[in-house]
Chain A
Amino acid sequence: MSTSAIVLGLLLAGLASYFIGAWRARDLARKTEEKLHSRPGYFGGYLAVWTVLPALVLSLIWGGAEHFVVRTIVKDNLPESVQALSAAEQTLVLGRINAIARGIPNLSDEDREVIKKSRLGFATADEAQRVMQARGIVMGSAPAPYMISAAYDQVSYQNTSRWASTGLALLLALGGFLYAFSRMAPKLRARNAVESVVLGGLVSASTIAVLTTVGIVFSMLFETIHFFQFVSPADFFFGTVWDPRFSAPGRTGEGQFGLVPLFWGTLYISTVAMFVAVPVGLLAAIYMSEYAGPRVRTLAKPMLEILAGIPTIVYGLFALITFGPFLRDAGAGLGLSISASSVLTAGIVMGVMIIPFVSSLSDDIINAVPQSLRDGSYGLGATQSETIKRVVLPAALPGVVGAILLAVSRAIGETMIVVLAAGIAATLTINPFEPVTTITVKIVSQLTGDLEFNSPQTLVAFALGLTLFTITLGLNIYALYVVRKYREQYE
C-alpha cells in the first residue's frame, strides 16, 4: 500500500478507537462505580493517540526514506560502466530507469513476462521496449538491458518496502491499541496524557517556521557553494559584466556572472519606486489619520486596500501593455526617447504597488503617537499642519523609517513587475528612460528553461537568490527592530 493509503487507514482506525475508548471509559465507570479522572472523550483520545501516533510516525518516516534508500540500492547495483560516468550522466540514467519503473505496474501479466525474459536474456531489449511503448511508457531511444533490469529491481524493492511498511504500521497500531486498552482505568490521567500530545503538536507546528528558514538558507547555500566551484566569488560579487552564455552542462569557464549590473538595476528601480511610494503613501496616511472625517476614511481606506490586494502580475501586465507604451508616447510628445520597458515604467508602477503598504504601516505609527503631544502643540497656538510637521512626524520618524525600510525590502524582492516591465539587458546606465534588469528578473530567466542543475547557468540563480535573501533579511531585521523599539516607547 502507498503511504497515503496507510495514513488514511490509520486515521480511520483512530476514529474507531476514539469511540471504543470513550465507550470503555463509561463502561468502566459504571461497573466500578468510581469517578472518571477525565471526561470520556479524553479516554477515547488516549486510545486513538496510542493507536495512530506511533504507526503514523513510522509510516511517514518510512515513506520519506524509501525514495532515497531504493535509489541508492539501484544506483549501487548499476554496471561498472555506468558507475564510471559523471554525476550528471548518472542522473540521466537514473531518470530513465525511473520512467521505466513508473510504467511497469501498468503492464499486463503477459507483458511483464516479456520483460522478465528480456532481463534473463531470453528476449531482446528491443522486444521489451516495444511492449513498453505499446503501454505508453515513454523512453526515447532504446533502453540498455541493464536499465530494464534495474527498473524491474526498483519496482520489486519498492513493493517489498511497501509491504514491510504496511505490516509494521499495522503491528504498531495494534500493539499501541492493546497497550492503551489494557491501561484503561477510571483513575487513568487521560486528559493530561492527551493534552501533552496536543502541546507537542503545537510545538512542532511552530517549529515549521524555523525549519522553513533553515531550509531556505541551507538549500540555497549548498547550490551556491556548488556554483562557486565554477565561478570565483570575487568574479561574481565584483564583476561588472553579466553574460551567462548558455553552455552544455559540465563545461566550465564560460560566461561571465557579474552581480554589479543586476544590483545596480535593482537599486535604481527600487529608488524610483520609493520616490513615488514614500511621499504619496506618507501624505495619504497623514491625511487619513489626521484630517479625514469618518466618511472619507470609510471610503478611501478600502480603496487603498484594494490597491494592496491586486496581484503583482496584474501590475506587471498593466506596466507592459498600458503604462510603458503610455510613457513612451508621452515622452515622444515631449521630445524624449523613453523606452517602453524602462527604469521609469517599472519604478513608477512598483511605487504605486507599495503605496498601500507604506500608508497602512505609517497610519498605525501615526495613530500610536499620543494625543497629549498634539494637544500640547495646539495649546501653544500651532496650526494642525504645523503640529503634524513639527511634533507628530518627528515623534513618528523612527517608526516611519522602519516602515520605509520594509517597503524597500519589498521593492528589492518584487519579481513580476520587473520581469514584465524592466527589460532583460544587464546594463549599467544612469538614464531612467532606458531598460535595466534586476536580480529577480535574472533568477527567473536562468531557471525557466529545461536545464540540468549542474551548470553555472542554473546554479547562479541560487547564488542570486541567496544574495537577495541576505539583503532583504538584513533590511527586515533592522526595520522590525526599529518599529518595535519605537512602539514600546509610548506603551
Chain B
Amino acid sequence: MAITANPGRPDRTAIIKKGISRRYAAERRFRLFGIAAIGFALAFLLFLFGSIVSNGYTAFVQTSLQLNVNLDKDVIDPTGTQRAQDIRNADYTLLARRALAAQLGVDTSNRPAMREIGGLMSRDVDITIRRLVQADPSLIGTTVPVWVLAHGQVDSLMKGQIDRTLTASQRRISDQQLGWLDKAEAEGFLSKRFNTGLFTYGASSSPETSGIGVAIIGSLFMMMIVVTLSVPLGVAAAVYLEEFAPKNLFTDTIEVNINNLAAVPSIVFGLLGLAIFINMAGLPRSASVVGGLVLTLMTLPTIIIATRAALKAVPPSIREAAYGVGASKIQTITHHVLPLAVPGILTGTIVGLAQALGETAPLLMIGMVAFVVEYPTTPLDPATALPVQIFMWATSAERGFVERTSGAALILVFVLVCMNLLAVILRRRFERRW
C-alpha cells in the first residue's frame, strides 16, 4: 500500500489500527452512557411507582368488625315516642360496645375492659348505627348485623404496619386488645373489606374515617370551570394570533407573554389569585371557583400554544380552496381549518387539563387547605382538591394517614396517566400527513 511504502514516515496503518479499537471502545462507552441515562430514568420511575404502590395498596381495604347490635329500646327511645330528637341523641357508642363485648364474651359491667373494647372501634361508629336507625326507626328493639370500621390503630395492626412483638406501650394496643382481635379474627367477625370510605368521606382527624370524597368534588368543580373557560378562550386567542394577527408590537407582546406565562412558576399564579380574586374581588377563600379561575389562567398558555401548532399544521391549500368558493376568512376557519385542527387541540387540552388537575401549590395560596368535612354543593363552598388532600395527609403525623396518602396519590397518578395516555393515543390515531 502507498502509505506503508514510504519508509521515512511512521506506519500509519498501524496507528490507525491501534486507534480504531480505542475509538470503537469510546463509541461503545458513549452508547452505554446513553442506555444508562435512560435506564436511570426508568429505574427511578419504577422505584417511584413501587414505593407508592407498596405504601398505598393497603389503603384500598379497611379492617371492619361485624357487630350484632341490639338496638335496645331503653337506650335509643326510652319514652317510646320515636321522637327524631331522641333518636338523634341516643348513645349509639354504648350499643356498639355492648355488642362487641357480647361477641367477645366480656362482662359489660367491667368498665376498664369496656373502655378498651371501645378503643377497638372507630370513633365514628355511633354515626354508622345512628344512620341505620334514622333510616328505619322500626328497627328499634331488634338485633341487626352491622359492619363498622375498626379503629385506625387496629387497622394498622391488622395490616402488619404495627409490630406485634413490641411491648404494649410502644404499639398503643394492649395485650388484652390483641387477644380480642385474634379471637375476633378467628371467629370471623373481624375482616378486611374494600374501603369505600376512602372515596366518599371528607376530612377527618382519625385516619379510618377520612377520605377523598370532598376533594374529588372540589377537583371536579375546578375542572368544570377550567374546561368551560380555558378551552374557548385559549382556542379563540390562538385563532386570532395564528390567523388574523398582524405582525406588530401588540401581537409580539402577546406572543412573548404567552410563552413566558407557560413558564411562570405555578405558585406565582396562586399569589395572583389571592391578591385579585380574594382580596380585590371579594370571592370566598377556599372556594373551588377561585381555584378554577387560577388554574384557568395557568392552563391558557398550554392550550394556546398547542392550538397554534395544530392550526399551523393545516396546509394552506385547504384555506385557498375555501376562499376560492367565496368563503370569508372566518367561514374558512370555522368550517375547514378548525375541524381539521381538532385532534391537535384536543391533545393539547388534555395535557393542559392533566397539569391543572395535578397542580397543588397555587391552591395552597388561596386557602384550599381548609379542613372540609361536608360535601360542597356549589363552587362557592369551601372545598379541597385531590393533590391538596395528598399534601395535607402527607404532613399529618398519624400512622394511618401514610397509607391513605399513598393510596390517594395512586388514584391521582392513575387518573393522570390515563389522561396522558389518551392524549398519546389521540395524537397517534389522528396524526395526518398532508
Chain A residues within 8 Å of B, Cβ to Cβ: 64, 67, 191, 195, 198-199, 201-203, 205-210, 212-213, 215-216, 219-220, 222-223, 279-284, 286-288, 291, 300, 302-307, 309-318, 320-323, 352, 355-356, 359, 383-386, 388-389, 406, 409-410, 412-416, 419-420, 440, 443-444, 447-448, 453, 461-462, 465, 468-469, 472-473, 476-477, 480
* Chain B residue at minimum C-beta to C-beta distance from A308: B420
User: Please, which residues of chain A bring their CB within 8 A of the CB of B29?
Assistant: 385
How many angstroms from the CA of A406 to the CA of B260 in the assembled complex? 10
User: Which are the 3 A-B pairs with shortest beta-carbon distances?
Assistant: A413-B265, A311-B358, A287-B34
B168 to A: closest C-beta gap in Å:
26
Residue of A283, A320, A385, A415 near B26 (CB, 8 A) is A385
Q: Is the CB of A469 within 8 A of B409?
A: no
Query: 0/1 per residue, B359-379, Cβ < 8 Å to A?
Result: 111001100010000000000
Grouping DSSP codes into helix (H, G, I), strand (E, B) and loop, the B interface class, with mixed when no group exceeds half, is: helix
Q: Which residues of B contact A307 (CB under 8 A)?
A: 41, 44-45
Neighbouring B residues of A206 by C-beta, 8 Å: 236-238, 240-241, 245, 251, 254, 304
CB of B195 closer than 8 Å to a CB of A: no
Q: Are A309 and B354 in contact (CB under 8 A)?
A: yes
Per a CB cutoff under 8 Å, which of A220, A322, A383, A419 touches B275?
A: A220
Closest to B31 in A: A291
Q: Which residues of A contact B232 (CB under 8 A)?
A: 205
CB-contact partner of A409 in B263, B267, B364, under 8 A? B263
In the docked arrangement, what's the CA distance between A476 and B38, Å? 27
Q: Report whether A447 and B364 are in contact in the complex, using a CB–CB cutoff of 8 Å.
A: yes
| B-chain residues with CB within 8 Å of residue A304 when the two chains form the complex | 38, 41
Q: What are 14 A-to-B residue pairs whose CB atoms are below 8 Å?
A: A206-B254, A209-B237, A212-B300, A216-B271, A291-B31, A302-B424, A303-B45, A314-B413, A318-B48, A386-B26, A440-B361, A444-B361, A468-B267, A477-B260
* B263 / chain A contacts, CB cutoff of 8 Å: 406, 409-410, 472, 476
CA distance A279 to B38 in the complex (A): 11
Instruction: Say how far A406's CB is from chain B's closest CB, in angstroms.
Output: 6
Are B413 and A310 touching (Cβ within 8 A)? yes
* Distance to closest chain A CB from B340 (angstroms): 18
- Point out the residue from B40, B234, B280, B409 that lies within 8 Å of A314, measured CB to CB: B409
Question: Is B268's CB under 8 angstroms from A205's CB?
Answer: no
- Separation of A307 and B412 alpha carbons in the complex (Å): 14
B106 at the interface (CB under 8 A from A): no
Q: Shortest distance in angstroms between A312's beta carbon and chain B's nearest beta carbon?
A: 7
> What CA separation (Å) do A119 and B270 show in the bound complex?
41
Contact indicator B409/A216 (Cβ below 8 Å): no
Contact B276 A219 (CB under 8 A): yes
- Give every chain A residue within 8 A of B40 (Cβ-Cβ): 280
Could you list 17 further interchain pairs (A-B, Cβ under 8 angstroms) beyond the known A216-B272, A309-B417?
A201-B236, A209-B304, A212-B297, A213-B260, A216-B264, A219-B276, A283-B37, A303-B45, A307-B45, A313-B360, A321-B51, A352-B44, A383-B24, A447-B365, A468-B267, A480-B259, A480-B260
**CB of B394 closer than 8 Å to a CB of A:** yes
Q: Looking across the interface, which residue of chain B has its beta carbon closest to that of A382? A: B23
Bound complex: CA A191 to CA B267 (Å): 44
Does the CB pair A305–B48 fall under 8 Å? no
In whole angstroms, what is the CA distance A406 to B263 when docked?
8
CA A201 – CA B237 in complex, angstroms? 9
Given A310-B413, A440-B361, A444-B364; A317-B264 close (CB under 8 Å)? no
Residue of B nearest to A453 (CB): B279
Q: Are A415 and B265 in touch, CB under 8 angstroms? A: yes
Verify B301–A389 contact, CB threshold 8 A. no
CB distance from B391 to the nearest CB of A (A): 6
Closest CB in chain A relative to B125 CB, distance in Å: 28
**What is the CA–CA distance of A409 and B261 in the complex, to the nearest angstrom?**
12
CB neighbours (8 Å) of A321 from chain B are: 51, 55, 394, 402, 405-406
Assess whether A317 is in contact with B41, with CB atoms less than 8 Å apart: no
Known contacts A383-B23, A444-B364: does B330 contact A210 (CB below 8 Å)? no
- Counting chain B CB atoms within 10 Å of each CB, which of A291, A409, A443 scores highest? A443
Number of interface residues of B (CB under 8 A): 91
Cβ–Cβ < 8 Å partners of A416 in chain B: 360-361, 387, 391
Contacts of B70 in A (CB 8 A): none
Closest-CB distance, A112 to chain B (whole angstroms): 24
In the bound complex, do residue A420 and residue B365 qualify as a contact, i.e. CB atoms below 8 Å apart? no
Contact mask for chain B residues 224-262; partner A; CB cutoff 8 A; 1 contact, 0 none: 000000001110111111001100000101101111110
**CA separation between A472 and B29, bound complex, in Å?**
37
A23 to B253 CA separation, bound complex (whole angstroms): 43
B42 within 8 A of A: yes
User: Is B281 positioned at the interface, with any CB of A under 8 Å from its CB?
Assistant: yes
Contact A415 B369 (CB under 8 A): no
Interface centre among B256, B261, B265 (most CB of A within 10 A): B265
Residues of B near A389 (CB, < 8 A) are 30
The one of B236, B280, B282, B360 in contact with A205, judged by C-beta atoms closer than 8 angstroms, is B236
A306's partner among B37, B45, B254, B272 (CB-CB below 8 A) is B45
Select the residue from B27, B48, B359 with max chain A CB neighbours within 10 A.
B48
Complexed CA–CA distance, A194 and B320 (Å): 22
From B44, B268, B364, A465 is in contact (CB under 8 Å) with B268
B357: chain A residues within 8 A (beta carbon): 311
The distance in angstroms between the C-alpha atoms of A359 and B42, with both chains bound, is: 13
For A305, give the chain B residue with the smallest CB separation.
B420
State whether B281 touches A468 (Cβ < 8 A): no
Q: Which residues of B contact A318 (CB under 8 A)?
A: 48, 51-52
Q: Which of A202, A312, A352, A447 has the most CB of B within 10 A?
A: A202
Say if the beta carbon of B328 comes within 8 Å of chain A.
Answer: yes
Give the distance in Å from the alpha carbon of A25 to the alpha carbon of B44 in the complex: 66
Name the CB-closest residue of A to B389. A313
A280 to B269, CA, bound (A): 30
Identify B300's interface contact among A209, A284, A322, CB under 8 A: A209
Are B267 and A440 interface neighbours, CB within 8 A? yes
Flag if B37 contacts A284 (CB, 8 Å).
yes
